Chain A
Amino acid sequence: MQRKIAIVGYAQTHHEADPPNTREGMVFEVAKGALDKAGITREAIDTVINVSSDYQDGRTISNLFLVMAEGAYLKDESKVEMDGAFGVLYAMMRILSGTHDTAMVVGVTQGSIFSPHQISFYTLDPTFDRQIGLLNDVAAAAIQARMYKNKYDVSDEQIAMVSVKNLVNATSNPYAHRRIPKPTVKKVLNSKLYCDPIRELNISPISDGACALILASEEKAKEITDAPVWVKGVGNCQDSYLRDRNLLKLESLETAAKKAYKMAGVKDPPTELDVAEVTERFSHEELMIYEALGLCREGKGKILIETGVTERKGQTPVNPSGGALGADPVLATGLVRIVEAAKQIRGEAGKYQIQGVRQALAHGQTGLCAQSNIVFILGGER
């Protein structure tokens, strides 16, 4: 990369179902929080990228009224309308270009305003699929889950183990939305059925939440903090439409991960990644994500979850924060993953800190069945 870039500050809200806070309030909270964490003022930020969705917020030009709250007054600003992690990519591009040295990325979605599952309906092909009225994100994921289960002989229990792992992890995360006291495979399998084989505890919750992080070029990062989290690599790719792509494999995630690994010089992900924070909107998705990230071979995701490799104590912990199953503030979720990965590197993850994290992976997604994916590789000082 033309310049080295680091994360120097961040903040997130406590993600909840419908807290008495407006999106403006949440944005202000995290923007101020990120600046306070970095120890800088608004004046030090060169550019602001907002991440929010018109349909979710019920406001065309969803970033219009957030300018003041996100600290973008008289600043060079723009907006990305995909998962927050893509907003971080755009902010990185702005710094890499040399035009800016620092950037703030703020993502917010209040799922309570309008159900994200209903929004997913509008991503369908309008000429045919939407007219039939049978598909939405859950139904499409159910189709994918069934294909995956059949091909690789994966059981509902194995898939439920992902939910249990992440929900247990979420109980240690004060920011997580879903904090179920004693999650078990039985509880998951007895939860409300949405679209066979997908049940309520296989799906991420609908959260209201916001997240912000601050990026800086190398020179500025060194001025701002002693613990910069360097972006070592990034890669993204978007698949074709739902009916035109291979649903058995997260191909665009595989492509994205390969690019990010190449940039970061990662040759053997299972040994070189100390932790991964991925966006798993459905628990079976996490198994497919393991495979696409190269943590195991195709179809072998079930072995990783069964043998505990991705538990907090395992060789490659995945989602120690609880992941999306713990909290899903829609467009802010990918940003949260990056922040959680950064926290691990800085040793600030409290009760769910993994020991000795030097290199971490963060993943964000957008679109039905994880159609568009982005992967970041983050590294500490050593």
Chain B
Amino acid sequence: MEEKQIKYKTEETIATEGEWPVGDYKYKAWKHHEEFKEGLKEKKIVGSICSGCGRVYVPPAYICGRCFRWMEERTIVSDRGIITSFVLSNPMKKGMKILGMDPVDMGIVADGEVLIPCMVKFDGSDSFVQTILLNVDPKDAKVGMRVQVVWAKEPKGQLSDIEGVEPIK
């Protein structure tokens, strides 16, 4: 074994380099997001509703585990709701590498911006959608805050049509 492959030695062991990339996976999914995205194109939020318990799942789910049945029906919920949870990131800085990208440099976030990932329960839904809280001072973010969706100017039928949510003024 070449010397440079030996990372370091202790009294009892040596540590060597090795890489085993696990490989390419081929996942299979339902078309729940297809349905969801079709709704987003029209600024509508689609959920599935269980004919047994009446619970509304957003984004749509196919199996209600409580009633143990398939959910055939769909419904539209409001694009207004409440924050049920949020966290604050540290301020973004230029040069910070996230997954190999520099988000400030790429213009994805502003320098010094604090990101607020949050959970939103839309009126009429029994589940949450995970998105970003926008247009609010991080100090003012609160669980229970009433918010509404910030829609993309021209929804294309993709998840980013929901740019985030902002407080209802």
A associates with B: yes
Quick one: which of A25, A68, A113 contacts B26, CB cutoff 8 A?
Answer: A113
B residues at A contact (CB < 8 Å): 18, 20, 22-30, 62-66, 68, 70
Contact, CB under 8 Å: B27 / A113:
yes
Chain A residues 9-31 with CB under 8 Å of chain B are: 20-25, 28
Given contacts A69-B63, A71-B68, A114-B25, 20 further A-B contacts (CB under 8 A): A22-B28, A24-B30, A24-B62, A28-B63, A32-B68, A42-B68, A55-B22, A58-B25, A67-B65, A68-B63, A68-B64, A72-B65, A73-B68, A112-B28, A113-B26, A113-B28, A114-B24, A114-B26, A118-B23, A131-B18
**A110 contacts B by Cβ under 8 Å:** yes
Contact, CB under 8 Å: A25 / B30:
yes
**A245 contacts B by Cβ under 8 Å:** no
Chain A residues 100-154 with CB under 8 Å of chain B are: 110, 112-114, 118, 122, 126, 130-131
Contact, CB under 8 Å: B30 / A114:
no
Ordered nearest first, which 4 A-B pairs have the shortest CB separation?
A68-B65, A58-B25, A73-B65, A42-B68
Chain A residues 149-200 with CB under 8 Å of chain B are: none
Interface size grouping (class) on chain A: 20 to 34
Determine the distance from Cα of A68 to Cα of B27 in the docked complex, in whole angstroms: 19
Contact, CB under 8 Å: B65 / A22:
no
Contact, CB under 8 Å: A114 / B23:
yes
Contact, CB under 8 Å: B28 / A21:
yes
A-B contacts, CB under 8 A, total: 47
Chain A residues 22-74 with CB under 8 Å of chain B are: 22-25, 28, 32, 41-42, 55, 58, 67-69, 71-73
**Cβ contacts under 8 Å, B29 to chain A:** 22
Determine the distance from Cα of A245 to Cα of B36 in the docked complex, in whole angstroms: 54
**Cβ contacts under 8 Å, B63 to chain A:** 24, 28, 68-69
**Cβ contacts under 8 Å, A130 to chain B:** 20
**Cβ contacts under 8 Å, A42 to chain B:** 68
**Cβ contacts under 8 Å, B23 to chain A:** 114, 118
Quick one: which of A41, A110, A131 contacts B28, CB cutoff 8 A?
Answer: A110
Determine the distance from Cα of A32 to Cα of B68 in the docked complex, in whole angstroms: 8
Determine the distance from Cα of A71 to Cα of B23 in the docked complex, in whole angstroms: 31
Chain A residues 66-91 with CB under 8 Å of chain B are: 67-69, 71-73
5 contacts between A and B (CB under 8 A): A22-B29, A73-B68, A110-B28, A113-B25, A130-B20
Determine the distance from Cα of A28 to Cα of B27 in the docked complex, in whole angstroms: 18
Q: Contacts A118-B23, A130-B20 known; A22 to B30 CB distance under 8 Å? A: yes
How near does chain B come to A99, taking the closest CB pair, in angstroms?
23
- Closest residue of chain B to A23 (Cβ to Cβ) is B28
- Closest residue of chain B to A118 (Cβ to Cβ) is B23
How near does chain A come to B112, taking the closest CB pair, in angstroms?
35
- Closest residue of chain A to B29 (Cβ to Cβ) is A22
- Closest residue of chain A to B70 (Cβ to Cβ) is A28
Determine the distance from Cα of A114 to Cα of B28 in the docked complex, in whole angstroms: 11
Determine the distance from Cα of A110 to Cα of B29 in the docked complex, in whole angstroms: 12
Determine the distance from Cα of A58 to Cα of B65 in the docked complex, in whole angstroms: 23
- Closest residue of chain B to A112 (Cβ to Cβ) is B26
Determine the distance from Cα of A164 to Cα of B135 in the docked complex, in whole angstroms: 69
How near does chain A come to B78, taking the closest CB pair, in angstroms?
25
Determine the distance from Cα of A72 to Cα of B64 in the docked complex, in whole angstroms: 12
**Cβ contacts under 8 Å, B65 to chain A:** 67-69, 71-73
Contact, CB under 8 Å: A73 / B28:
no
Determine the distance from Cα of A20 to Cα of B65 in the docked complex, in whole angstroms: 22
Determine the distance from Cα of A30 to Cα of B144 in the docked complex, in whole angstroms: 41
**Cβ contacts under 8 Å, B26 to chain A:** 112-114
Contact, CB under 8 Å: B20 / A122:
yes
How near does chain B come to A104, taking the closest CB pair, in angstroms?
12
- Closest residue of chain B to A43 (Cβ to Cβ) is B68
Determine the distance from Cα of A118 to Cα of B22 in the docked complex, in whole angstroms: 9
**Cβ contacts under 8 Å, B62 to chain A:** 24-25
**Cβ contacts under 8 Å, B25 to chain A:** 58, 113-114
Contact, CB under 8 Å: A58 / B27:
yes
**Cβ contacts under 8 Å, A114 to chain B:** 23-26
Determine the distance from Cα of A242 to Cα of B64 in the docked complex, in whole angstroms: 44
**Cβ contacts under 8 Å, A28 to chain B:** 63, 70
Determine the distance from Cα of A113 to Cα of B29 in the docked complex, in whole angstroms: 11
